Structure 1
Amino acid sequence: MAKRKVHRRARKILGEEPVALVWCEIHRPIPVPPKEVHRAAGKGRLKPGHHWLLYVGAVVFFFVVVPMILIDKIGKKIDQRLSGREPHRQTPRPGSRSGPQRFTGDRGSAGDRVDDPAGGVFDGDWNLTAGRLLLRWYGHSPNPKRLVMLAHDRICVAASPRRRLSPTRADDFRPVAEFPLDAARIEGEAGQPRGFATFRIRFADGSWVQVGRLGEPEDADHFLRTVSAGA
């Protein structure tokens, strides 16, 4: 559960004790908006930032691991040539297929992706409230986590400026969007499996955005029980 200082910070922002709060993330990549829409919104970040250790790991992989793999393969080729041996090749059996094979996976899933270009992240209309919110979702913080706080009269979305944070201890978050209850509501079901729970923020114009990866099980359970009871 979030520490007392997190609740103290939330109380300072809301001006009252939060009814419920939970850290969450956009559970799938944000769809790529049309270029003109992205440009009009200021061409903000559409992906979360990465920690510097990730870049260090990528450099080590490409400049250390990859050369070692190539050197090992070249060494094996040289050994084979010097020993006069050709690598063993398996003779295809009669009737067996050779060459590239076509993928014959589930075509239904591909069709679903075509029918739902927004990927279940939001309603798909970039001009409505949910689309505009997504266009600036990562503009306030490179960290993917957002704190959704419920007050008696409004919903507040906050973010921490830090690249890394602990959901139980982060107390430097700042509000990035607020919506009165006549402009937005939370839709969620209690009792969802932990690790797979999601909820939607639905706006008065009919748009919605879905989030998941809910932080701290106790906070998530209380949050979902609260919104389901008020539905």
Structure 2
Amino acid sequence: MAKRKVQRRARKVLGEEPVALVWCEIHRRIPQPPKDIHRAAGSGRLKSRHHWLWYAGAVVFCVVVVPVILIDSLGRHVDRWLWGRGGGAQAGEPRTPSAPQRSGRRGSRESERGHDPTDQVFDGDWSLTAGQLLLRWYGYSPSPQRLVMLTRDRICVAASPRRRLSPTKADDFQVVTEFTLDQARIEGEAGQPRGFATFRLAFADGSWLELGQLGDPEDADHFLRTVSG
């Protein structure tokens, strides 16, 4: 379960004891919105900021690993070229016909299957509540993690100002948006496999947002039992 400091902080920001709470995040990439809609919402970030170690690793990869790969690849190409010149001197050897290339139909089918621009993140309408919430997701915090807290009459979404945090110990989160029960509801099923469970924030205007990567298993189980009951 969430540590006492998380529970204590939740009571403080809510002004009451939460019925259920769980850390979660958008478990898929946020799709690219139309430029005019993104600009109207402030052109905020659509992905989290990486830790500085990630950038350091990227630099090392480009400076050290990429040249080694290129040199190795060049060496293989030279070897094949030299081998081909030697083999070409032997006259009369029939060349093995290359295998016929398959139609690109399979690739097109895969492309069609992955064409859904929302990829099940939300309903797809950027002008509705879920889309607007997505556009401002990283404006509230550089971390993708959010604490969803349920009270008797509200659904509250909280965020920590830090980029990296321990969900079981975070004690500096603030409520960034909240909805009454006539504005939104939680749709989720109990008994989902741990590590793969998801739930939806469904809004009165028909829009929805799917969240996953639920935090502490006990918190997640209790949260899903509460919303599915």
Alignment TM class, shorter chain as reference: 0.7 to 0.9
- Across the two proteins, how many residue pairs are aligned to each other? 222
**Distance in structure 2 (CA, Å) of the matches to 1:45 and 1:192:** 31
How far the C-alpha of 1:167 sits from its partner, in A, is: 1.1
Q: What is residue 49 of structure 1 aligned with on the other side?
A: 49
1:156-178 deviations in Å (ceiling 9; x for gaps): 00111111111111111111101
Aligned residue runs from structure 1 range 120-139, under 5 A: 120-139=120-139
Q: What is residue 105 of structure 1 aligned with on the other side?
A: 106
Aligned residue runs from structure 1 range 38-187, under 5 A: 38-73=38-73, 86=83, 93-94=96-97, 96-97=99-100, 102-105=103-106, 110-114=111-115, 116-187=116-187
1:37-61 deviations in Å (ceiling 9; x for gaps): 1111110111111111110000000
**Distance in structure 1 (CA, Å) of the matches to 2:210 and 2:190:** 16
**Distance in structure 2 (CA, Å) of the matches to 1:153 and 1:74:** 65
SS in structure 2 of the partner of residue 70 of structure 1: helix
How far the C-alpha of 1:106 sits from its partner, in A, is: 6.8
1:6-46 deviations in Å (ceiling 9; x for gaps): 01000101111110000111111111111111111110111
Q: Which amino acid aligns with 1:105?
A: R
Structure 1 length-normalised TM: 0.87
Aligned residue runs from structure 1 range 26-41, under 5 A: 26-41=26-41
**Distance in structure 2 (CA, Å) of the matches to 1:22 and 1:106:** 39
**Distance in structure 1 (CA, Å) of the matches to 2:121 and 2:207:** 11
1:66-106 deviations in Å (ceiling 9; x for gaps): 2233344556778x69xx953688x9634623xx7654437
Q: Which amino acid aligns with 1:52?
A: W
SS in structure 2 of the partner of residue 2 of structure 1: coil
How far the C-alpha of 1:127 sits from its partner, in A, is: 1.0
Q: What is residue 196 of structure 1 aligned with on the other side?
A: 196
Q: Which amino acid aligns with 1:111?
A: E
1:169-191 deviations in Å (ceiling 9; x for gaps): 11111111010111111000000
Matched, 1:205 2:202: no
* Unmatched segments (≥5 aa) in structure 2: 88-93
CA pair 96-106 structure 1, distance change in 2 beyond 3 A: closer
**Distance in structure 2 (CA, Å) of the matches to 1:187 and 1:74:** 55
What's the RMSD between the two structures over aligned residues?
A: 2.5
Q: Which amino acid aligns with 1:154?
A: R
1:193-225 deviations in Å (ceiling 9; x for gaps): 111111000111111111111111111000000
**Distance in structure 2 (CA, Å) of the matches to 1:202 and 1:63:** 47
